[in-house]
């Protein structure tokens, strides 16, 4: 039903009777439902039959009567239809009936009762005159609702961490040891940004949305323009005030009829740094004693006068304001670190930047997705891969408590998915998959120069190989170049020769696959994967790992005969 449209008393009574019949059904269910949002926008007429029948729509704010209202967000509800108790999050059968009364008034007189143009009582800016501003700590309104700081007002979601336990997630709580927190995106209609203007004045900028009304009341909805449905604003000749676009919720809501409490930090630069044990003077103090009248006065005064303070730790971190050169360099740095992922390197860096409380990504690799196409030609099926330009495959691995590679657990993958979704391009679909682990062992033979201790030289060779195959140095899809390993061992002091395999590939320097048991189950033919002195990883993204270097790398000193 349109705003400011009036009904004659008979039609209004008919509409209200239909609404009450619908609410009567909801309120008398075995588990009663409270609609909470009975307004002119949520009543639609069904014209499909011979008789017009009013219907209740939009159950976005509906709650079971038995359901707790502790976490109920009333932002967006029209206050002109709400009973008094609703502003304290008390919703009941009576509050729905109150809203019907307000609706009845609206039908008869074209506006809800007590209507005022709420935008006149809104403020979208606050100025702070304090010098040496550092940052906003918190903003809270008189309803104890918190306002969230965002980089720009068009950003309507922020990250929020919740503890990974059974109360919050039965699916992921089993991974709480490795992933203590879960990451989720929350929508924040109450948001603000801060600007530092000339002369150091700080402006807190809020949105300009009118939370009392739906956006469709003040601007046309493109989906409804030209619609002939009853109650839908679809008139093509209807005049629209262009300034109405400034009062939508696109950039958040403006605070109205409330008191904001703003906590912020200020500083005085380097002089705020304090050495340890420097704060020793008590300017004033307040002490309270239970049953002070029954205590010895001299003892009470002695206790009061004995209070002493100090700071065991120094206060650090304060600094002078940035110089012009520092501002210039920081601007270049921030430009390079924009909140977006465009290249493959951007995605990989975002994986490594996942905050550790949400899990840790040890290795990441990204490829374009491919779709398999099967075609028949001359009676044979030909399989080919077709690039999918709208999807990427992100391959990941993590570490376990012994620093060995393992697939990421489900909770960490879910956190990573949420984290990347915030930065990815709209057209990018990202599939998070496990990379394959190929465990390997190494055996080698060397000859040692005269006058060198064979055991010492052999131990040095093993240590060089351990460092080379340190898992921190290994990357997904990186091949192993045998020539580098020969040069590495040739460079060890005391090594005369690194023995190469014979013509049949036996003896000398060997790398072989280790699988099952305490190793990865992946079997891999090192011999087949070796081409021209390079061991290539599998076609599916994989990584080589020497899992137990102390036992998986073995060498011996031999004597060559000529």
* Separation in Å, CA 71 to CA 89, 95, 141, 254, 296: 9, 18, 16, 21, 50
First to last CA, the chain: 103
If pLDDT is split at 50, 70 and 90, which confidence band does 463 have?
Answer: very high
Alpha helices (runs of H) in 337-373, residue ranges in sequence order: 344-352
Mean pLDDT over residues 498-523, rounded?
90
For residue 448, the model assigns a pLDDT of: 92
Encode pLDDT of 47-68 as tens digits: 887 888 888 988 888 888 888 7
Alpha helix (H) residue ranges in 110-208:
none
For residue range 107-126, list pLDDT tens digits in order. 888 877 766 554 444 557 78
DSSP state of 321: P
Banded pLDDT at 475 (limits 50, 70, 90): very high
The predicted pLDDT at position 206 comes to 86
Mean pLDDT computed over every residue of the chain: 83
pLDDT surpasses 50 at 453: yes
pTM more than 0.75 = no
C-alpha 441/C-alpha 551 separation (Å) is 8
Q: Which helix (H) or strand (E) holds 99?
A: helix 93-109
Confidence at residue 518, expressed as pLDDT on a 0 to 100 scale: 92
Greater model confidence, 469 or 562:
469
Identify the band that residue 1 occupies on the pLDDT scale cut at 50, 70 and 90.
low
φ and ψ at residue 475, rounded to 5 degrees: -130, 155
Q: What pLDDT, on a 0 to 100 scale, did the predictor assign at position 71?
A: 65
Please report which confidence band the pLDDT of residue 211 belongs to, taking 50, 70 and 90 as the band edges.
very low
Q: CA–CA separation, 170 vs 418, rounded Å?
A: 18
Looking only at the bridges linking them, the beta strands covering 436-448 and 542-545 are parallel
Q: 220 or 133: whose pLDDT is higher? A: 133
Element (H, E) at 418: helix 410-423
* Whole-number pLDDT of residue 237: 55
Q: What is the pLDDT of residue 120?
A: 47
pLDDT exceeds cutoff 80 at 31 = yes
What does the alpha-carbon distance between residue 146 and residue 138 come to, in Å, rounded to a whole number?
Answer: 7
> If you count them, how many residues does the chain have?
562
Tokens of 201: 């004045």
Give the pLDDT mean for 528-540: 91
As a whole number of angstroms, the distance between CA 474 and CA 364 comes to 11
The domains found in the chain, sorted by start residue, are 9-109 (1.10.510.10), 119-150+188-263 (no CATH), 276-315 (no CATH), 326-417 (no CATH), 437-557 (no CATH)
Q: Which residues pair with 157 in a beta bridge?
A: 187
Residue-wise pLDDT for 544-553, tens only, equals: 999 999 999 9
Tell me the pLDDT band of 139, cut-offs 50, 70 and 90: very high
Question: What is the tens place of the pLDDT at every residue in 344-384?
Answer: 888 888 888 888 888 889 999 999 888 877 787 777 877 77
pLDDT band at 245 (very low <50, low <70, confident <90, very high): low
Query: Which pair of tokens denotes residue 492?
Result: 């060890």
489 φ/ψ sector (left φ>0, alpha ψ -120 to 50, else beta): alpha
- Token pair, residue 297, equals 């006065």
């Amino acid at each position: 039903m349109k705003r400011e449209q009036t009904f004659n008393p008979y039609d209004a009574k008919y509409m209200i009777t239909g609404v009450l019949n619908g609410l009567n059904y909801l309120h008398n269910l075995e588990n009663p439902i409270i609609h909470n949002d009975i307004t002119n926008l949520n009543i639609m007429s069904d014209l499909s039959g011979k008789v017009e029948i009013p219907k209740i729509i939009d159950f976005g704010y509906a709650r079971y009567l038995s359901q707790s209202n502790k976490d109920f967000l009333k932002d967006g509800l029209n206050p002109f239809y709400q009973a008094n108790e609703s502003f304290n999050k008390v919703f009941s059968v009576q509050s729905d009936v109150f809203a019907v009364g307000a609706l009845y008034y609206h039908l008869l007189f074209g506006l809800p009762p007590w209507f005022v143009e709420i935008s006149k009582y809104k403020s979208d800016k606050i100025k702070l005159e304090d010098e040496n501003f550092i940052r906003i700590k918190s903003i809270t309104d008189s309803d104890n609702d918190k306002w969230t700081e965002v980089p720009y007002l068009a950003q309507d979601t922020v990250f929020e961490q919740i503890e990974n336990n059974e109360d919050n997630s039965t699916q992921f709580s089993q991974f709480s040891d490795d992933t203590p927190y879960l990451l989720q995106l929350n929508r924040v209609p109450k948001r603000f940004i801060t600007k530092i203007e000339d002369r150091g004045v700080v402006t807190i900028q809020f949105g300009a949305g009118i939370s009392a009304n739906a956006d469709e009341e003040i601007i046309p909805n493109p989906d409804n323009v030209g619609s002939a449905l009853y109650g839908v604003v679809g008139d093509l000749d209807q005049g629209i005030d262009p300034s109405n676009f400034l009062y939508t919720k696109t950039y958040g809501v403006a605070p109205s009829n409330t008191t904001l409490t703003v906590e912020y930090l200020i500083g005085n630069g380097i002089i705020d740094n304090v050495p340890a044990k420097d704060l020793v003077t008590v300017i004033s103090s307040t002490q309270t004693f239970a049953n002070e009248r029954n205590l010895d006065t001299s003892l009470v005064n002695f206790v009061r006068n004995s209070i002493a303070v100090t700071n065991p730790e120094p206060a650090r971190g304060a600094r002078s304001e940035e110089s012009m050169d520092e501002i210039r360099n920081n601007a270049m740095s921030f430009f390079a670190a924009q909140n977006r992922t465009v290249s493959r390197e951007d995605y990989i860096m975002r994986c490594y930047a996942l905050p550790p409380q949400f899990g840790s990504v040890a290795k990441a690799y990204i490829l374009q997705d491919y779709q398999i196409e099967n075609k028949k030609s001359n009676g044979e099926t030909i399989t080919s891969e077709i690039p999918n330009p709208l999807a990427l495959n992100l391959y990941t691995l993590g570490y376990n408590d012994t620093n060995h590679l393992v697939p990421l657990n489900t909770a960490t993958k879910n956190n990573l998915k949420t984290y990347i979704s915030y930065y990815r391009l709209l057209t990018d679909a990202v599939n998070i998959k496990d990379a394959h682990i190929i465990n390997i062992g190494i055996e080698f033979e060397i000859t040692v120069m005269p006058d060198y201790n064979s055991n010492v030289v052999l131990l040095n060779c093993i240590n060089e190989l351990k460092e080379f195959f340190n898992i921190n140095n290994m990357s997904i899809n990186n091949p192993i170049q045998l020539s580098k390993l020969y040069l590495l061992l040739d460079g060890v002091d005391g090594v005369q020769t690194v023995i190469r395999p014979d013509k049949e590939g036996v003896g000398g320097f060997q790398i072989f696959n280790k699988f099952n048991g305490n190793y990865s189950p992946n079997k891999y033919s090192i011999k087949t994967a070796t081409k021209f002195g390079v061991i290539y990883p599998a076609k599916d993204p994989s990584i080589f790992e020497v899992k137990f270097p102390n036992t998986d790398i073995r060498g011996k000193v031999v004597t060559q005969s000529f």
